[in-house]
Amino acid sequence: MIGRGQQIGVWLSDHAVSLLLSVFIVGLLVYLLEWAVAPLTLGQVGRFLLRSLRRNVLRTGLTCVAIMVLVFVMTMIWSVLYFLSRMTEDKAKDLKAIVTEKYQIPSQMPFRYASDLTREALSLPPGLRPKESDLMTWQFYGGTLDPTKRTRENVIFFFAMEPSKLRTMMDDLEELDEELVRKLEQKRDGAILGREKLAAMNKRVGERFKVTSLNYKEIDLEFEIVGVFPEGRYNQSAVMNRDYLLSALDEYKYRKGVAHPMAERTLNLFWMRLPSSRAFEEVAAQISMPGKFAAPAVKCETASSGIASWLDAYRDLIWGMRFLLSPAIIATMALVIANAISISVRERRAEMAVLKVLGFAPAHVLVLVLGEALLIGAVSGLVSCGLTYVVVNHVIGGFKFPIAFFPAFFVPWHALWWGPAVGGLTAAIGSFLPAWTARSVKVSEVFAKVG
């Protein structure tokens, strides 16, 4: 298991370029600001900006709140898009592949395909061959706790799989307690549930419950809750031991004298973690050879490609989030900043004239007005995305916005610079025209009106 120190080292190495780029950009901005306001010091500029913002605390506060709300919405939208983008992005190493039925959705393959597909994967040449622990089957078992009154709270959906593959093959479960895995292996009727699903069912660890199946008619199973998934993406999920389902199907055949109607359609997905894209190409070619998997035919694709096809039903929604809602929020933020700064400039025309009389160049006035807007935008954006990161990830356990089989989304660490960047950029865009107006204030005209 990777230690905490190693995890930090991996994180730093993965994001070294981003960190160095951020430091470079901050340093460049500080240098440009010093050059723009010379001979003023940054301390003098800071005091001037803070004093300007305190002139109308109500307007400054309302502007900050408006930006924080808009940055919050933008952060949630980009978090969803960022996660989906990662899920549909192929990796050069540790690439996941998925085998499904070729001509039917949902995929329903004979379970004997599991051993055949395992043999094909393990027959790859050394260097391309995956480990057996990197091969996983998925069977879907769904049902209700109350067949007479089916509700969202009492419907449960299980991933039936080998317990030993939970930590190695399921995303974000590397740190899952090994004791939970052992319990699920030893107790065939055991189940591990997500925290929200457990709460919705009003159950606790150690309790038992019976499920009346919806997709395996007359295969009604009783479970004991042996553990709970960590807080996160599996809050609504449930996992059972696949041997429990297979033995129930065998028992049905013994009891009825005939195989269950679903007996030859029980394998839904077969997962493989492969060391490289070349390994994927090799195993996909082997599986696709004529006569190997013909009844029913199967297809092998990267997990990212499979997820992308499942997301196809949400294509219009995702397109709207990316190309309609996001630009609309940015435009709204720019208008909010422009309105607030315009009012401030109109109220302080005399002050701008006095600054020019005192020797401030037009560029100084321009930078000072832009600085006010940038300070409001960047600080509000930082506070908003920081609070969003903490509350969404650590308080409410993810943003509940179900898309395909993703029940919730979490805010990535990148959001900590999304907020200041979006807030500062829109502030700069929105305040440029009012700042240019302040720069162009004519001293003679202002004092003529005062006189």
In the structure encoding, which two tokens stand for residue 73, read together? 């919405």
Give the Cα separation of 197 and 235 in Å (integer). Answer: 6
Give the pLDDT band of residue 91 (cuts 50, 70, 90).
low
Give the Cα separation of 341 and 51 in Å (integer). Answer: 15
* In a shared domain, residues 43 and 157: no
- Write the pLDDT tens digit of every residue in 155-164: 999 999 999 9
* In a shared domain, residues 210 and 273: yes
Is there a domain that residue 436 lies in? yes
Residue 180 amino acid letter: L
Tally of structural domains, the chain: 2
* In a shared domain, residues 270 and 336: no
* In a shared domain, residues 184 and 268: yes
Q: State pTM to two decimals.
A: 0.69
* In a shared domain, residues 323 and 418: yes
* In a shared domain, residues 288 and 379: no
* In a shared domain, residues 322 and 250: no
- The reply to whether omega before 296 is within 30° of 0 (cis) is yes
- Angle at CA of residue 185, ends 229 and 129, nearest 5°: 90
Is there a domain that residue 283 lies in? yes
User: Would you state the pLDDT for residue 249?
Assistant: 96
User: Would you state the pLDDT for residue 40?
Assistant: 64
374 vs 218, which has greater pLDDT?
218
Give the pLDDT band of residue 145 (cuts 50, 70, 90).
very high
* In a shared domain, residues 177 and 289: yes
Give the Cα separation of 174 and 102 in Å (integer). Answer: 31
Give the Cα separation of 216 and 253 in Å (integer). Answer: 13
User: Would you state the pLDDT for residue 404?
Assistant: 65
Is there a domain that residue 146 lies in? yes
Give the Cα separation of 401 and 203 in Å (integer). Answer: 24
The neighbouring-strand residues paired with 269 are: 138
Give the pLDDT band of residue 44 (cuts 50, 70, 90).
low
* In a shared domain, residues 179 and 280: yes
Average pLDDT over residues 266-293: 91
- Write the pLDDT tens digit of every residue in 383-433: 999 999 999 988 887 787 777 667 778 888 878 888 888 888 888 888 888
In 3-state terms the chain splits into helix, strand, coil percentages (rounded to 5) of 60, 15, 25
* In a shared domain, residues 82 and 140: no
If phi over 0 gives left and psi between -120 and 50 gives alpha, with beta otherwise, what is residue 127? left
User: Would you state the pLDDT for residue 182?
Assistant: 92
CB atoms within 10 A of CB 53: 19
Give the pLDDT band of residue 222 (cuts 50, 70, 90).
very high
In the structure encoding, which two tokens stand for residue 328, read together? 């609309």
Give the pLDDT band of residue 3 (cuts 50, 70, 90).
very low
* In a shared domain, residues 200 and 137: yes
Enclosing domain of residue 364:
24-88+314-450
Give the Cα separation of 202 and 188 in Å (integer). Answer: 23
* Beta carbons of 385 and 416 less than 8 angstroms apart: yes
* In a shared domain, residues 327 and 262: no
Is there a domain that residue 396 lies in? yes
Across the chain, mean pLDDT equals 84
